[in-house]
Structure formats: structure tokens, C-alpha cells
Structure 1
Amino acid sequence: MKTDINIAFAAMLHLGTLAAVFIFAIYSIIRALKNIKIIFNLFISTLPAALIGITFENKIEQTFSNIELLPIFFCTTSLLLMLSSSKNGEKTLEQMSFIDALFIGLFQALAILPGISRSGSTIAGALLLGFKREDSLSYSFLLALPVTAGAGLMKISEMRMSQIHLALTAFVVGIIALFILKKSVLTGKLKLFSYYCLLAGFLSFLVR
């Protein structure tokens, strides 16, 4: 019974998060639907994480139980955000190449590991490739949709309407978090998140 409750809890959180991401990505979704190249690139960017996750599933699971590695992963996120914080290129999503999409996909694959932010790594990857801040953020939002939707659909049969408040809470928290993330990216203040990850890395080093 406890396992069923945990699954239902996770399902509701994914549902709320998905709704929040969808609202922030609505214009990006419309933009992608008007350009098949963007959709194709999203597929390419999703492949690395999927392939690595399937191929190294057991080893990846082991990293979640190895707290010795957490400081390294948090510091990796911090470094990526620090390096990309001030970047603001000229490239748009319509100009993204196959190689660009694959490169960003490799950054997303890093987030399979605990302590590495998916949104942080994909935004950093796009910024380091010379994309505009707005487009880097938009692409990260678009990439989040299939990941979040997939996680939710896997548990959809376990959802309970009595726990709908969990989805609503996740939605509200998600909206606030995404708003802060958007402001931080567009104003070049990703360093703030970098400092937070650095602190998290330090604290995880102390408690290992």
C-alpha cells in the first residue's frame, strides 16, 4: 500500500509540473509546430539521455545510493551555470543544427545523474553554443515536456483524485520556480543558481 501511495504522489507531482511547464512553453510549442526542423531537433536532443539511461540503467541507479558523488555533481551544475551565465548569442531555434541539438542532448544526459539540473544543463549548453537567452530557455522548456509527460504517463494508472491537491501544489510551486528561472536567464543572473549549487555541494560534502 505504501508503494502505491508513493507512486500516486509522484504522479500528481508530475501532472502539476507538466501543467506549469506547458503554460510557460505555450508560445514555444506554437513556434515548434510551425517549424518541423525544431521538432526534429527536439527528437535528436532527447536521444542521448534515453540511450544512456537504458544502456547504463544499473550503474546510474547505483549513483543515487552513492552520496560520495553528490558534491561532484552539484559542483558540475554550478560550473555549467557559472560559465554560461553572461552568455547571450545571436542564434535562434530555427538556426539550430543537428550537431547543436546533439550537443544539447548530451548536456541533458548529464542530468540523469543526481545533483545535476536538467534545465540548468540544457540552458547552459544552448548558451555556450551561442544561442539567444530567450531561445535557450524556450528549448529547455520544450525538452522538459516529453520528459515530464513521460514520467507522469508511466504512473497515470495510480493517480487518485483524492490527491489532486498535490498536483495543484506542484503547479503553483512550478509556476513560481519557472518564473524565477526565466527572470534569471533573461537578465544573465544564472550565477545566483550557481552559488546555490556550490553551497549544496559543500553541504553534501559535510554530511556524506
Structure 2
Amino acid sequence: MKAIIALVQGATEFLPVSSSGHIVLLGNLFKVETDVSLTVLLHLGTLLAILIFAAKHILRVLKKPRLIFLVILSTLPAALIGIAFDEIIEKTFQKLEYLPVFFCITALLLALASAKNGSKTMEEMKALDSLIIGIFQAAAIFPGVSRSGATIAAAILLGFDKKDSLGYSFLLAIPAITGAGLLKAETFKIADLYLLLLSFVSGLVALFVLRKIVLANKLKVFSVYCLVVALMSYLLR
């Protein structure tokens, strides 16, 4: 069952449907314990995937110190909230009660983003823009709120084009996933490392799919999907 969860984690980590929400849902459906440490281990597999897939965006940022600053600024809200409310957040991974609301939030963000077309590039981003996107990312600490969905939607709603909204979301995933991994690293089991490989492979495939979906302006499809999952999680409470 853990192997299935690893594949789902990889596929849903980058698709805007909340990987953590799906893991909590699967855990409750099949009575599999899905603590935060397992979730973070699977996130590390997807981290490897995005480091490979987003190499061009990473190089783009490294050449421009200002963009590095903006990425750090966007990362701060989630980092501060994650550290300050670690125990509260972990409890939300054990129950279905919160999922319907959080999935609906993701659905709303995606619906709003699908109706807007921006033209600003990453180089035009201001500190306030990056902070707002970071606040949206902080909401994705909770299962059911998609990190990629929240950050992509926030960037699009702020007027950035879809390509750079996607690219900036990729960049934010790196410190977010790395930070979570370091926070829970001491709880990993060597025997579970094969799960990291599974999440890496499915994550890489999902990244290719996500790029096509975002550039084709098909985010509304995932908005509907999240509403369906919200209803399902409500009925299973």
C-alpha cells in the first residue's frame, strides 16, 4: 500500500490537486498510517524530480541575485508557520474533517486563475508580489490545499504570465520541500527509501503533464476535480 501512496504522492505533488490531501484520504480509506515523516520522505523523491526538470529555471535565478532574494522572501511565510505550528499541522494529517474545506479552497483558486491571463515576467516581480505568493504557499501546509495550485494561481492573479507563474512555482518547491525534509529527517527509515524512487519517477512524469496543462489554460479541469474530491472526503468523514 505504501508503494501506491508513493506513486500518488509523486503524481499529485506537482499537479494542482494537493498531494498531502490525497495521502490523508488514501490513508483513511485503506487504514494506512500516513504521518508527516512518510509524507516528507515522499516529498524528497519529488524534490529530485524538480531539480532535474526545472534546471533551466534554477540557472536563470542563480544568474540574478534579485530573484534569489524574492524566492527566499516567498519561502519565509511557510517556514515560519511550519515551525511555529508544527504540532497543529501534524494533527490535520490524521483526520478527514478538514479536507473538504481545504480542497474547496484549491478549487476556488484554480477557477479564478483559469479566468485570468497575465503578461508580466518573473524579472518584473516586486517584493510585495513575492510575499503574497509566499502567503498563498503557506496555506498549502495544510492537506487539501495544493502548493503548486496556490502558488501558480497567486502568480497568475497578480498578473504574471502562465509560463513564469509555473516557473516561479517550481522554484518555490525546492526550498519548501527541502526544508520539510530537514525538519523530519531523523524519522526516516532506510527500508522505505524505495518509496522515494517511486515518487521521483511519478513526479517527473507529472511535471511534464503539468507544463502542458498550465500553458494550455486547462486549470479549470483540476478545479472541478478538487470539488469532486472535496465531496468525497466530506462523505467519508
Please report the TM-score for the alignment, with normalisation by the length of structure 2.
0.78
Alignment coverage as a number of residue pairs: 202
Map residues 62-141 of structure 1 onto 2, 5 A cutoff: 62-141=91-170
Any idea what the Cα deviations from partners look like across 1:6-28, whole Å, max 9, x if unmatched? 89865652332111111221010
AA partner of residue 96 (structure 1): M
CA drift at 1:65: 4.0
Matched residues, percent identical? 54
Counterpart contact for 2:36–2:93, Cα < 8 Å: no
Structure 2 unaligned spans of 5+: 1-34
After the TM superposition, which segments of 4 or more aligned residues of structure 1 sit over 6 Å from their partners? Answer: none
- Judged with a 3 Å threshold, the aligned counterparts in structure 2 of structure 1 residues 88 and 24 are, in CA distance, closer, same or farther, namely farther
Counterpart contact for 2:40–2:177, Cα < 8 Å: no
CA drift at 1:87: 2.5
Note if 1:16 corresponds to 2:16.
no
Counterpart contact for 2:36–2:90, Cα < 8 Å: no
> Greater shift after overlay, 142-151 or 194-203?
142-151
Please report the TM-score for the alignment, with normalisation by the length of structure 1.
0.88
Any idea what the Cα deviations from partners look like across 1:83-107, whole Å, max 9, x if unmatched? 1014231111111001000000010
- Give distance in 1, aligned partners of 2:95 and 2:128: 33
**Equivalent in 146, 149, 155 of residue 185 of structure 2:** 155
- Judged with a 3 Å threshold, the aligned counterparts in structure 2 of structure 1 residues 158 and 65 are, in CA distance, closer, same or farther, namely closer
**Equivalent in 36, 42, 62 of residue 33 of structure 1:** 62
Which protein is bigger by CA-based radius of gyration? Answer: 1
- Give distance in 2, aligned partners of 1:198 and 1:172: 27
Counterpart contact for 1:81–1:194, Cα < 8 Å: yes
AA partner of residue 19 (structure 1): L
